Amino acid sequence: MAEPHAEAAALATGLAADAAAGWDLAGELPRPVLRELGVKGVLCAQVPAGHAGLGLSSVDNGELTAHVGTLCGSLRSVLTSQGMAAWAVQRLGTARQRTAHLAALTGGSLAGVAFSEPGAGSDLGAMETTLTLEGDEVVVDGEKVWVTVGAYADLLVVIGKLAGQAGCVVVPAETPGVRVTRVPDPLGCRAAGHADVRFDRVRLPADALLGGTALPLGMLVTAVLTYGRISVAWGCVGMLRTCLREAVRHVSARRQAGVALSEHQLVRRHLAELHVAERSATLACARASRCWDEGDPELGAAAVLAKHLAATGAAAGAATAVQLLGSAGARDGHPVARAYRDAKLMEIIEGSNEISQLVLAEQALRAWA
């Protein structure tokens, strides 16, 4: 029996497998490809079938995300962004908002989620973007940076301060007062459409505010980031699988001193470390996704652990793969070279290594006190 995500994975393979290197070099994903994947439900595959989604579990969507991660880190970034946007609508929106926005997200519209600001990266409590209710309108004012998919987005899901707490609004990118500026030459995920977005007194109907009310910032951010952390973690599993595939192919075919590179003990040590990183990350991701699917209260902790383990493993594993391939893996556009650059960003987004370590330390103190 085919896996629930098999058809979506096959579609992604057909569209991306031979094109990803060119997308990376050009710094651009073709919008028709993104639209097709969106209409087929691949970009936010956990949206229920009742809203025209694929209705995948977190475990199955995780394997789909890992598969896309083996193909193209930029495309995987779109899955993470679109999935976060859809989850924000599902988790925070009213029934009417869910019906309207999820139909857009499974109908070809593209979405970016705007968290970070020039002065508020890890410290989201320092954000200055404001959401102000004025009669039957909500006014958005502020600046967001490094919005993944921002350059392609039809909709922007924006987090801002509201009535002493926080709120989340869905902003059509074409609304007057919205200014999108693409980030030039990002280090990694170069085709993911990273952009800075300025909101100058952007006026929207009050119904643009998800749930219609203010929420505690920590609750709102955690609800959305947990999805993102699991998605990024699965994407890192994909990077590790690519690095293993390319490394094994290379060291099995290349000979040195009369024997295959794979016969050298130091090379085998590197392969063992890559294998351990991929297996460990996969197991941590599977546990986090099971927590999601089962409503386990350990979800938040499991998501942070999976993201940290997978991101650090991918960054180290990609460096190992480049070392094993040598000049062959240092060519711009090569899958291992892409993974080397992309993986570094994974140690920063959805909670940096340092933020993850602080959270994990708190967990350790509680568990072992």
- Global pTM reads 0.96
pLDDT of 97: 97
Digit-coded pLDDT (tens) for 147-173: 999 999 999 999 999 999 999 999 999
pLDDT of 4: 81
Find the DSSP H helices in 166-264.
Answer: 217-253
C-beta separation of 192 from 78 below 8 A: yes
Instruction: Say if residue 297's pLDDT is above 60.
Output: yes
Confidence of residue 51 (pLDDT cuts 50, 70, 90): very high
Give mean pLDDT, residues 203-231.
94
C-beta separation of 123 from 73 below 8 A: no
Confidence of residue 258 (pLDDT cuts 50, 70, 90): confident
Rounding to the nearest 10 degrees, give the CA dihedral for residues 185, 336, 64, 76: 0
Percent of the chain with pLDDT over 90: 92
pLDDT of 92: 96
Q: Of 65, 139, 90, 80, nearest to 115 (Cα)?
A: 80
pLDDT of 123: 78
- The token pair at 304 is 């942070």
Burial class (CB in 10 A: 0-12, 13-18, 19+), 328: middle
Tell me the C-alpha distance between 67 and 176, whole Å.
Answer: 38
pLDDT of 257: 81
Mean of the per-residue pLDDT values of the chain:
95
Give mean pLDDT, residues 181-209.
97
Give mean pLDDT, residues 132-147.
97
Instruction: Say if residue 107's pLDDT is above 60.
Output: yes
- The token pair at 155 is 């909709």
Give mean pLDDT, residues 20-24.
96
- What is the residue whose two structure tokens read 């301060």? 161
pLDDT of 1: 53
Instruction: Say if residue 333's pLDDT is above 90.
Output: no
Confidence of residue 43 (pLDDT cuts 50, 70, 90): very high
Long-range contacts of 116-120 (CB under 8 A, 24+ apart): 116/144, 116/145, 116/146, 116/147, 117/142, 117/143, 117/144, 117/145, 118/143, 118/145
